[in-house]
Chain A
Amino acid sequence: MALSPSTHPVQIHKLPQFAYIDALRWMPHLSTFTRHILLATYDSDSSTPSLQTLTFCPSRAAPSLTPQASVTAPSRITSLKISPSPLTPSKPIAAASAFSGSLLFYSADLVNGTLNLEFSVPEKGFHLGPVSGIDLNENGSECVSVGEDGRVNLVSISAKTGFRRVFDSNGLVSYSSVRWASPVEFVTGAFGFGLHWWDQRKAGGPVALFKDNWTGGTASGIVHAIDIHPSRKHTCLAGGSSGTLFAWDIRLPKQPIILSGVGVGDAPANSLVESDIWEVQYDNYTHSSKIINSSSSRILPAMICSEDGILGVIEQGEEPIELLAEPCAINSFDIDRQNPSDVICSLEWESIAILTRP
């Protein structure tokens, strides 16, 4: 199953961590030579969840990660998002949602190597049970959160107090993921492969629902991750159960484009993955090198990681590319936005893999 590194030019380095990695993100670059990674870890020996920043030293032979700052988290982290701080570039903002149901905002000082809790939204009244997904908007001013309890909340970071309830389905719908589409719109993913499009200007519920019987009633699942490309805000890319990856164009609400999946609708026969897709991100790296003049209706290439240990790139109408195949699950990954050839991913077996594409 494993690819030998010599047969493909992607460099892969695995760094054991001796702690389970719940989430990980690249931090915005401070300079070309210093890069940082934010990890949400869980030390099972001491039952301690923590957040830590690490300095990444790229090297062909042996890239290394050096711990920089670390803070204990109140509970395990379910989702982690980063946004550059518009005023102080060396202090990006990190939003972390907790298993216990709270939402925490940290500011990471990459120069002095500190990680400070700016403020947290307390558990009470916020979500019932774990927060399943969060997203920070482009300028890092607002954070939207969703939960299995069916609540959709907005937190204003500048206000540093409380939250605003956008919607409460009282548990009738369970949300699993969320992603901003524009400063006022966002998309939530739900059980049953449902996607809801929300517009803050229109209160009272989602403005568009995507739930068709495109799976033919044979399979249903959960949307674990959503991505929306800044240049194509009307198209929502969603990944979830049974290796399903599909795109929903809000302008053509009844016709999803199925890019991958097992036993769902008219998915391509050769699915790269068969089990849950945990994370989806548009892959700008492949984009810049391969398609420049493609039509706007074509779905841009996207990177996915899966429960069955695959990190790969899926592109509409093309053979999927497998970047990494592991005997354990790949729980999450992040493409470095400023240097999209570099990808970090967290392996279930307490380690991190760093990939550098040529």
Chain B
Amino acid sequence: MDKSILTLDKGTRCTAWNYSGQRLAAGLVDGSLLIYDSTDPASSTFISTSRFKVQESSILKVVWVPPEYGDAVACIGADGTLSLWEEVTEDTEGHHWKLCKCFDRNTSQVLDIQFGDAETCLKLVAAYSDGQIKIYELLDTLELEKWQLQAEFQNVIDLVSNFGHASCVSASISWNPQRSEVQQSSFVLGFSSNVPALNSPKVWEFDLDHQRWLPVAELSLPEEKTDQVSAVAWAPNIGRPYELIAVATQKGISIWHLGSNPDADGRLSAQKLATLSGHDSEVWEMEWDMSGTTLATTGSDGMVRLWQSNLNGMWHEQAVLTPAS
């Protein structure tokens, strides 16, 4: 059953649903942000409740801040800026959106960001067009204004080498969705750049003993290490003994199996389960469902595709949703 639940304004460039699917943030070409809300928790009727100007340039991506930190979004602009906006009620008449933080704009642009580690200390991973990864930490649980740069590194296994002249077109980050205070936080990140070593997706984990981020796995076969990565997605794990991560490159979508026990070097075993082709061209987005069994993808072929493993562990395309008038 399909039904249209809301109409987007002219010039919408990107959309993002909040954690509960009750609010949608839409970024516009003129730099405005629109918020759509459902009238009550059971309703699937959405109306636009706020509209405000974030920046002069077009908004490329909107990401919601985890709900433990309020109703807030991060916006990536076409000019490479990154800003945080929050909904607050300060006077007696309703709420409004205020700018909390504008991250310093240096020469490189922000390509992708993701929030993680909401249980303990909120972290923001940002991938930049020069191939840098920056991790910011929130200093105050109740204020989104104060951030501190916790780490900065490049997406390479060999930590000593440095690629100064990297130029990246896009990046994709996905945190391990596991909500656990005991397990160390980790995320996977891949680039689409002119420097082959940066591209392949690496799983980064925070090493508590040495207080630094370490690459614990690389999700690419030797012959595909240079492939440009367009999207990565870490599947929710509701009880599997291993992790599942989907990686999209021009060659297709691959499903990776990530072991949970590190070897002597602290590396996690990674094994490619399947290579799936479908979108033929660029994969735009990938998202796992809440049980981590179905992967939904969209791509430049204009289709939504659903992927699943059958009982024999064979990954295959389950269905294609094609927009039709």
A, B bound? yes
Neighbouring A residues of B40 by C-beta, 8 Å: 75-76, 99
Q: What's the Cα separation between A42 and B41 when bound, in Å?
A: 12
Contact partner, B42, options A42, A128, A171, Cβ 8 Å: A42
The answer, yes or no, to whether A7 is at the interface (CB within 8 Å) is no
Q: What's the Cα separation between A44 and B44 when bound, in Å?
A: 9
Q: Are A44 and B42 in contact (CB under 8 A)?
A: yes
Neighbouring A residues of B94 by C-beta, 8 Å: 128
Chain A contact residues, majority secondary structure: loop
10 CB-based A-B contacts, threshold 8 Å: A47-B39, A47-B44, A75-B40, A76-B39, A76-B40, A76-B42, A125-B93, A128-B94, A168-B92, A171-B89
The answer, yes or no, to whether B180 is at the interface (CB within 8 Å) is no
The answer, yes or no, to whether A100 is at the interface (CB within 8 Å) is yes
Q: What's the Cα separation between A128 and B92 when bound, in Å?
A: 8
Q: What's the Cα separation between A322 and B136 when bound, in Å?
A: 57
CB neighbors of A among B20-64 (8 A): 39-40, 42-45
Q: Are B39 and A75 in contact (CB under 8 A)?
A: yes
Neighbouring B residues of A171 by C-beta, 8 Å: 89
Contact with A along B79-96 (1 / 0, CB 8 A): 000000000010011100
Q: What's the Cα separation between A44 and B43 when bound, in Å?
A: 7
Count A-side interface residues using an 8 Å CB cutoff: 13
The answer, yes or no, to whether A34 is at the interface (CB within 8 Å) is no
CB distance from B4 to the nearest CB of A (A): 13
Contact with B along A75-118 (1 / 0, CB 8 A): 11000000000000000000000011000000000000000000
CB distance from A74 to the nearest CB of B (A): 9
CB distance from B6 to the nearest CB of A (A): 12
Interface residues of B (CB under 8 A from A): 39-40, 42-45, 89, 92-94
CB neighbors of B among A37-52 (8 A): 42, 44, 47
Q: Are A100 and B92 in contact (CB under 8 A)?
A: no
Neighbouring B residues of A99 by C-beta, 8 Å: 39-40
**Count the A-B residue pairs with Cβ separation under 8 angstroms: how many?**
25
Given contacts A47-B42, A128-B93, A170-B92, 6 further A-B contacts (CB under 8 A): A44-B43, A47-B43, A47-B45, A75-B39, A76-B42, A128-B94
Neighbouring A residues of B92 by C-beta, 8 Å: 128, 168, 170
Q: What's the Cα separation between A71 and B131 when bound, in Å?
A: 60
CB closest residue in chain B, given A20 = B42
Neighbouring B residues of A170 by C-beta, 8 Å: 92
Interface residues of A (CB under 8 A from B): 20, 42, 44, 47, 75-76, 99-100, 125, 128, 168, 170-171
CB closest residue in chain B, given A125 = B93
Q: What's the Cα separation between A348 and B43 when bound, in Å?
A: 17
Chain A to chain B: the 4 pairs with minimum beta-carbon distance, closest first = A47-B43, A47-B45, A76-B40, A99-B40
Query: Quick one: given A47-B44, A47-B45, are A128 and B89 in contact (CB under 8 Å)?
Result: yes
Q: What's the Cα separation between A42 and B39 when bound, in Å?
A: 12
CB distance from B42 to the nearest CB of A (A): 5
CB closest residue in chain A, given B93 = A125
CB closest residue in chain A, given B42 = A44
Neighbouring A residues of B45 by C-beta, 8 Å: 47
CB distance from A61 to the nearest CB of B (A): 35
Neighbouring B residues of A75 by C-beta, 8 Å: 39-40
CB distance from A41 to the nearest CB of B (A): 12
CB distance from B23 to the nearest CB of A (A): 15
Q: What's the Cα separation between A171 and B90 when bound, in Å?
A: 11
Neighbouring B residues of A47 by C-beta, 8 Å: 39, 42-45
Neighbouring B residues of A76 by C-beta, 8 Å: 39-40, 42
Q: What's the Cα separation between A313 and B325 when bound, in Å?
A: 58
CB closest residue in chain B, given A49 = B40
Of A20, A99, A168, most buried by chain B (CB within 10 Å of CB) is A99
CB closest residue in chain B, given A78 = B40
Neighbouring B residues of A128 by C-beta, 8 Å: 89, 92-94
Neighbouring A residues of B44 by C-beta, 8 Å: 47
Q: Are B39 and A100 in contact (CB under 8 A)?
A: yes
Neighbouring B residues of A168 by C-beta, 8 Å: 92
CB closest residue in chain A, given B94 = A128
CB distance from B88 to the nearest CB of A (A): 12
Neighbouring A residues of B39 by C-beta, 8 Å: 47, 75-76, 99-100
Q: What's the Cα separation between A326 and B322 when bound, in Å?
A: 44
Neighbouring A residues of B43 by C-beta, 8 Å: 44, 47
CB closest residue in chain A, given B44 = A47
Q: What's the Cα separation between A273 and B44 when bound, in Å?
A: 33
Of B44, B45, B92, B93, most buried by chain A (CB within 10 Å of CB) is B92
CB distance from B39 to the nearest CB of A (A): 6
Q: What's the Cα separation between A100 and B43 when bound, in Å?
A: 13
Q: What's the Cα separation between A335 and B293 when bound, in Å?
A: 49
Neighbouring B residues of A42 by C-beta, 8 Å: 42
Q: What's the Cα separation between A68 and B40 when bound, in Å?
A: 27
Q: What's the Cα separation between A45 and B40 when bound, in Å?
A: 14
Q: What's the Cα separation between A187 and B176 when bound, in Å?
A: 49
Q: What's the Cα separation between A20 and B94 when bound, in Å?
A: 29
Neighbouring B residues of A44 by C-beta, 8 Å: 42-43
Neighbouring B residues of A125 by C-beta, 8 Å: 93
Q: What's the Cα separation between A42 and B43 when bound, in Å?
A: 10
Q: What's the Cα separation between A253 and B148 when bound, in Å?
A: 51
CB distance from B164 to the nearest CB of A (A): 53
CB distance from B49 to the nearest CB of A (A): 12
Q: What's the Cα separation between A100 and B94 when bound, in Å?
A: 12
Q: What's the Cα separation between A47 and B89 when bound, in Å?
A: 28
CB distance from A122 to the nearest CB of B (A): 13
CB distance from B53 to the nearest CB of A (A): 24
Q: What's the Cα separation between A86 and B94 when bound, in Å?
A: 38
Q: What's the Cα separation between A192 and B30 when bound, in Å?
A: 47
Q: What's the Cα separation between A76 and B44 when bound, in Å?
A: 13
CB distance from B46 to the nearest CB of A (A): 10
Q: What's the Cα separation between A170 and B93 when bound, in Å?
A: 11
Of A20, A42, A47, A100, most buried by chain B (CB within 10 Å of CB) is A47
